[in-house]
Amino acid sequence: MTFFGPLWMTHQVVFILLFLSGIFLSSAREDSEQSYDFRHISYKELSPTIQRFTKSGVTSYSQLLFDPTRYQLVVGARDYLFRLSIDGLQILEESYWPPPSTTIQLCQQKGQSVNDCRNYIKILLQRNGKVLACGTNAFAPNCSWRHIDDLSMVSDEMSGIGMCPYSPHQNVTAMISSSGDYFVGTAVDFSARDSAIYKFSGKTIGLRTVQYNHKWLSEPNFIASYDINNFTYFFFRETAVEYINCGKAIYSRVARICQNDAGGQHLLKDNWTTFLKARLNCSLPGEYPFYYNELQSVFYVEQENIIYATFTTPANSILGTAVCAFNLSAIERTFRASFKYQSNPGAAWEKHVGSSDAKRHFQCETPGSTWHVDSERYQLMDEAVPSTLDKPLITAELERFSHIVVDVVPTKHHEAVHVIFIATMEGTIKKYTVLPRTHETCLLEVLKLHSSNHTEPIHILRILKDTNSLYIGTGSSVMKISVERCSRFASKRTCLNSMDPYCGWNSHLQVCATAPQKNPLSVFWQQVYPSCPILTEPVDGGWGKWSEWFECSHIGDASSGGRCTCQTRKCTSPPPAHGGQPCEGANLRVANCSRNGQWTEWSAWSACSQTCGLAVKMRRRACGNPKPAHGGRTCVGSDRDEIYCTSNPPCPVSTVGAVNGRWSDWSPWDECSVPCGGGFHMRRRRCNNPAPQNGGRECLGCPVEYRSCNTQTCNEARKSTVWTPWLKGNISREGYYELRFRFSCKANVPDSKFIRIGHMKKEERFCLEDGQNCVGGEFLSNDGEWSSWSTWTKCSAPCGGGFQSRDRSCNNPHPTGNGLDCVGDKRMNRACNTHFCNNLDDSEKWSSWSLCESDGFQHRERSCPITNIGSNKCQEATKETRPCDDMDNELLVSASIIGQLSGIRTEHLVAGCIVCFLLGSLISGVGCYYYMVRLNRNRRMIGNRLFSNTTAPPNVYVPPKDCLNKNYNTNSLSRSKRIPLMRENSIKNNGHKMNTNLNDDGFN
């Protein structure tokens, strides 16, 4: 019977578990021998190192813009713009940018889906501290310039037609050149039938490809654009017009445009004259080459002048993909070769060498005599651009590559090793290295960004060298992952066998890590000569992470049927392979088996809580005999027991008196809330000097006191923008007008950053048709505007009535042409210190006011005879100054004071003024009468001379030099009778007429 007892059953269960565990480990080791590859990193292993940003309800994270100087990342998603920190992807700012509801309604009425009628951000570009953001805006493209450190601050907004596609499904590439011009390649109409390469200079559309001409662009899908040397390069795929006679095929292209292209004057007006395109050849060699025709992604390695690109087979064929590299020199050599030309739509495509003038023109040199015709005739090059090798660098079957980025890494043995990161359509990242000498590519890592039951396409892939990280935009999030995972290699052998250019063995720290201080030549950082990873070396097994705790059954004598928690781990990090040692240790861990709690014995009774009156005493026990553990039941009942102390005597009555509360001293005034314009500060006190006790009264009053501060007006701050470039305006027969603008504003604010653009100023000039001669602002009419007021001058007198003045000038700007002068006074005066003067008993009277001086002021003085030291008399001013323009005001004030002192009443002054006015009017009328009588007498005398019956002599030409001869007279008129000739000359310039009177006494 003992043989079949509980102990025998326990041993049997343990034996069965160990047997099954051994079988499992053995089979797992055999499977791992067949399938283990350390280059494949699962989502479970990668996810702890992924930094991720996501926001509920936001999708399509399709645009990423790095701003390393501010250590931030600008992200464009559907209806949103975000600013994130480069490290950690912490949100810095969120800007909501949806289309208006009326635009959404109109979009849906045109047959578009609800999902497409949103604002998908398609373009993010940076220049001069601002971000150009363009979105589809529910099929009504819109663009705006925003401050890069405050995306909600829009400095300019414009239509995005021609700058951004209508549909979120259309491709676009855009760039801002070094000269500030905006280049874009996209579909420019609602139906996507018109695709073009545009150039925008400022807000004006410059040049574009010829419209609806398939020889220029044929249903293109734009991929990338770069500003290289004197050219702008565009990469795209399109329907091949040269293949149209044999069916329909899509070719990959590279197009080139000179940056100094000014367009044609007549034949190709407003169109490019240096546009050329060539085919990109990425194919498997053989008697019948296999072409990967459809370009998907491009990356330009500037320091090497190499362009990497991914290609795929057509969408309706067997899945296949490749990566090819192209030297910039090979592209330039193709563009210097012969052209492919079709004389008419029914003719075959032929090879044309082209004229020397045409080749010089397409190389951005001085155009020849026939460049207009050549530009219209030639768009396609005869030869295709070959890749650097005779075969692709990378090929793959049954999958497609969607995006590519390349990093140039210095290593122990080479200054620059190219590491290629490729995104697949399924959302996987593949990492390759290009061996420097053989140009062979080796697969280093395959990163699973999602779990096995979930796939999500990658919208955008970017690399930032400053953080050695990849930034990935998907439909639901933005992710950041490191370019290396050196720490997963535990030994020197596995570290070096990985052949990762980022990784080496640090002999000081005994870890696999990146180069210390980014110096690959460090003596204690080891790397082997680069080759493909070694996969045949024995790999010792390593335990993976313990699983989460899960509930399991416990079998034992003490707690039969109790519940426990268990953990398991697997020998998969890495699994033993190629004869490596298996993992050592147990793969199962059991803990937290349930145990019910029991009470300890009661403690002794404590002393009473007080020695008199009502008091209690208590005793305690603990639930620790044993403690409940691992889900066991806790003890039932209370751990504390109390009873009253019945033997205490009554407590004596308290005789302590009440203490009323009193305030403490006030604290110092804290800092004012604003530096100017009126603010407040406060101080505090507490009712603790002493605090109320034994029923005493609380303190009366408030614990906080406020008062105003910094009530002075803020200084006036100004801001003005620079003048905009000259913009062409109205065009007339003689020429055209050009305008430019400037914005400025002023405000009394504490800080100039609170000023916003307000007033707009405009300048205009007229240019002749040739565009060489322009007439400036002196021939145009500009109204004058006042400058800001100066500060008030010091009061002219300390008491008894003085004056202050301030000035402004009509020079902001000056009136020009027929422009109006500024309206208002240029000087403002006000009275000051009008109180009566005291302590003047010992001072002499004021002297008379002096005459007006050149500075526009008068002065008077007085002296003080008392010179005793310590005397309080004669403390007032001994000199006063007043402006000459304010004499009338001074007289009025003085008259008021004199009237008060002498008893003269207001009625007397009014009567005297009326009498003086009537007397002056009478004298003026008499003077005007005598003046008019004399003027009429002179006119009658001149009329008699002009209309006499005397016959005038014939006109005689007199040379100008003789006109100056004082002795020269005509035949009939003497010098004493010559009448001055007034001539009026009208000069019309820039649409304004200016009259000039010429008074020449030299004409008889």
The helix or strand, by DSSP H or E, that contains position 916, with its residue range, turns out to be helix 906-946
Q: Which amino acid is at 341?
A: Y
Burial of 297 (0-12, 13-18, 19+ CB in 10 A): buried
Q: Are the CB atoms for 558 and 527 separated by under 8 Å?
A: no
Does residue 27 surpass a pLDDT of 50?
no
Q: What is the pLDDT of residues 98-131, one digit of tens each?
A: 999 999 999 999 999 999 999 999 999 999 999 9
Q: Choose which CATH entry (3.40.50.720, 1.10.260.40, 3.30.1680.10, 1.10.10.10) describes domain 484-527.
A: 3.30.1680.10
Sign for the CA dihedral angle at 145, 151, 154, 155 comes to negative
- 154-168, 204-218, 299-313: least confidently modelled range: 204-218
Give the pLDDT score at 418.
96
With residues binned 3-state (H G I as helix, E B as strand, rest as coil), the percentages for the chain, rounded to 5, are 15, 35, 50
- Identify which has the larger pLDDT, 399 or 753: 399
Q: Which amino acid is at 876?
A: E
Q: What is the pLDDT of residues 156-172, one digit of tens each?
A: 999 999 999 999 999 99
Q: What is the pLDDT of residues 64-79, one digit of tens each?
A: 999 999 999 999 999 9
- Identify which has the larger pLDDT, 974 or 719: 719
Does residue 893 surpass a pLDDT of 90?
no
Give the pLDDT score at 221.
95
Does residue 625 surpass a pLDDT of 50?
yes
CA distances from 563 to 525, 597, 629 (A): 52, 15, 11
Please state, in angstroms and rounded to a whole number, the distance separating the CA atoms of residues 79 and 121.
7
Does residue 380 surpass a pLDDT of 80?
yes
Tell me the fold of 538-552+563-594: TSP-1 type 1 repeat (2.20.100)
Average pLDDT over residues 197-202: 87
Stated pTM of the model:
0.58
Give the pLDDT score at 906.
65
Return the SS3 of 28: helix
Does residue 724 surpass a pLDDT of 50?
yes
- Identify which has the larger pLDDT, 736 or 399: 399
Does residue 990 surpass a pLDDT of 80?
no
Strand order in the sheet with 294-301: 294-301, 306-312, 320-327, 394-397
Does residue 894 surpass a pLDDT of 80?
no
- 189-203, 334-348, 753-767, 787-801: least confidently modelled range: 753-767
Strand order in the sheet with 72-77: 63-67, 72-77, 80-85, 91-96
Does residue 974 surpass a pLDDT of 90?
no
**Ranges assigned E (strand) in 435-573:** 441-448, 458-464, 469-474, 478-482, 504-506, 511-513, 525-526, 550-553, 563-568
Give the pLDDT score at 947.
41
- Identify which has the larger pLDDT, 499 or 356: 499
Q: What is the pLDDT of residues 660-669, one digit of tens each?
A: 899 999 999 9
Q: What is the pLDDT of residues 566-580, one digit of tens each?
A: 889 998 877 888 888
Q: What is the pLDDT of residues 247-269, one digit of tens each?
A: 789 999 999 999 888 888 777 88
Q: Are the CB atoms for 578 and 537 separated by under 8 Å?
A: yes
756 CB-near residues (< 8 Å, 6+ apart)? 745
Give the pLDDT score at 959.
53
CA-based R_g, the chain, Å: 47
Burial of 611 (0-12, 13-18, 19+ CB in 10 A): exposed
Average pLDDT over residues 22-49: 67
Q: What is the pLDDT of residues 927-953, one digit of tens each?
A: 888 878 777 665 455 444 444 444 444
Does residue 732 surpass a pLDDT of 80?
no
Burial of 459 (0-12, 13-18, 19+ CB in 10 A): buried
- 86-95, 520-529, 737-746: least confidently modelled range: 737-746
Does residue 975 surpass a pLDDT of 90?
no
Give the pLDDT score at 77.
97
Give the pLDDT score at 75.
98
Question: What secondary structure, in 3-state letters, does 161-214 show?
Answer: ECCECCCCCCCCEEEECCCCCEEEEEECCCCCCCEEEEEEECCEEEEECCCCCC
Q: Which DSSP state fits 69?
A: G
Give the pLDDT score at 817.
67
Q: What is the pLDDT of residues 802-817, one digit of tens each?
A: 888 999 988 877 777 6
- 39-48, 578-587, 957-966: least confidently modelled range: 957-966
Question: What secondary structure, in 3-state letters, does 308-334 show?
Answer: EEEEECCCCCCCEEEEEEEEHHHHHHH
- In 3D space, the residue among 464, 262, 518, 286 whose CA is nearest the CA of residue 366 turns out to be 262
Please, what is the average pLDDT of the chain? 81
- In 3D space, the residue among 232, 310, 235, 315 whose CA is nearest the CA of residue 278 turns out to be 235
- 21-25, 709-713, 755-759, 852-856: least confidently modelled range: 21-25
444 CB-near residues (< 8 Å, 6+ apart)? 39, 419, 431, 432, 433, 498, 499, 500, 533
Give the pLDDT score at 875.
52
pLDDT confidence tier of residue 35, bands split at 50, 70 and 90: low
Long-range (24+ apart) CB contacts under 8 A made by 502-511 are 502/409, 502/419, 502/468, 503/527, 504/412, 511/487
b/e per residue 188-222 (b: at least 16 CB within 10 A): beeeeeebbbbbbeeeeebbbbbeeeebbbbebbb
Please state, in angstroms and rounded to a whole number, the distance separating the CA atoms of residues 114 and 138.
9
Residue 38, token pair as written in the block: 């350390």
H-assigned helices in 277-428: 328-335, 356-362, 371-377
Q: Are the CB atoms for 315 and 342 separated by under 8 Å?
A: no
Does residue 1000 surpass a pLDDT of 50?
no
Residue 169, token pair as written in the block: 């499904």
- For residue 53, count other CB atoms closer than 10 A to its CB: 20
b/e per residue 912-934 (b: at least 16 CB within 10 A): eeeeeeeeeeeeeeeeeeeeeee
